[in-house]
Amino acid sequence: MEDLLSVQAYWTFLLIVHGLLAVALLGALTHQTAAVLSRAPRSSQSGFVQRFSTVPAQRYADAVCLLWVVCFIFGGWIYSEYRISVRIPMEQQEFYKTLGSFELKEHLAVIGLGMLPAYRWFWRHDLPETRSARRWLTVLLAGLAWYTFLAGHVVNNVRGFSA
């Protein structure tokens, strides 16, 4: 019994760290997205929404890349336990839509990982002709990050790592 509790505590700890890293990634991408979509003048004497979107967006690019990769690695490690302890019981309970949303999450996380080199290049090379591509690549990555976070959260709420 003691071993079972320590194993569950291990996976729970990894899941919490993965979630905290994902929240940091969401914060960075959401701030950066607000900044690239903002058309308001950069003024520190404005309201919350305007201050939220006036962050120096280029400073977030390296953090976003690092956080995406680290979240991906943690998620890949946790995935081995998910396949056995979570997915099989959810299939037995016929939670097919929830499982399908998680399958889509996996694919979107990989697509986002593949987009990171282009994303980083666009943020490192601030060229007038690539600003639109940089803007929409950032928006797309933010959308992927939000979807993957919410889908993972829903699956954890439905089943979690409990036996």
> Residue holding tokens 């993972």?
152
- Going by the DSSP 8-state scheme, the letter that residue 41 receives in this structure is -
pTM for the predicted model, two decimal places: 0.85
What are the tens digits of pLDDT across the range 114-163?
A: 999 999 999 999 888 988 999 999 999 999 999 999 998 888 888 665 54
Which has more confidence, 52 or 110? 110
**CB of 151 within 8 A of CB of 102?**
yes
Tell me what pLDDT residue 37 has: 87
Tell me what pLDDT residue 163 has: 47
- Residue 88 sits at the vertex; the CA angle it makes with 77 and 154, to the nearest 5 degrees, is 70
Return mean pLDDT, the chain. Answer: 86
